[in-house]
Amino acid sequence: MCSILSDGLQHTLTARFSVDLSCNYDVIYTAPTSCNACFANAGGNMQVCGLETTLNAIESIGDVNTHWVLQTGISYGNVNIPNTTVTTTFAGTYNLVWQITNSIGLTCQDTVSVEFKTIPMPDAGLDFGVCGKFAYICADTTFTDGGWSCPVVEFRITMPR
């Protein structure tokens, strides 16, 4: 019998006999897991606020030569540790590759996507005292869509006469 799956799941084999096609014999069996499969698991995709995170790859029993594949723009705490810390200088999305060799020598890999987001750094300008009727407030933001957030009150300066 050819083409029998070896995936660790249950399957039904049906035998039909040529003399009486209505006579069937079903066999339900659980297929063994593949003897030559290679499974790498880099963990789930992430979005992080900041430029540092901890990766979450998973090692299986029998895996050897497990490591993160070096990538430009990423610094790894230790490439041989599945839960290593990574740091980048620039915000953005990086696809990081976890590579393993299994106990029978097959090599495979999995990729995790990590989006590093910029931490907001608002700057409302220098503190100063007001002497007169007007004050110029100059603010800046690290985002292109920054704005003021004020309580619902009216600001008035009353000058003595």
Q: Please, what are the domains in the chain? A: 1-35 (no CATH), 46-117 (2.60.40.10)
How distant, in Å, are the alpha carbons of 68, 75, 81, 119, 132 from that of 109?
Answer: 9, 19, 15, 31, 67
Comparing 37-41, 68-72, 84-88, 109-113, the range with the smallest average pLDDT is: 37-41
Task: Indicate yes or no: pTM above 0.85.
Answer: no
Alpha-carbon span 161 to 116, nearest angstrom:
56
CA-to-CA separations, 13 to 8, 20, 83, in angstroms, rounded: 15, 18, 43
- Quick: pLDDT tens for 7-52: 556 667 666 666 666 776 667 776 665 555 789 999 999 999 999 9
Q: What single DSSP character describes residue 108? A: E
- Is 138 in contact with 122 (CB distance < 8 Å)? no
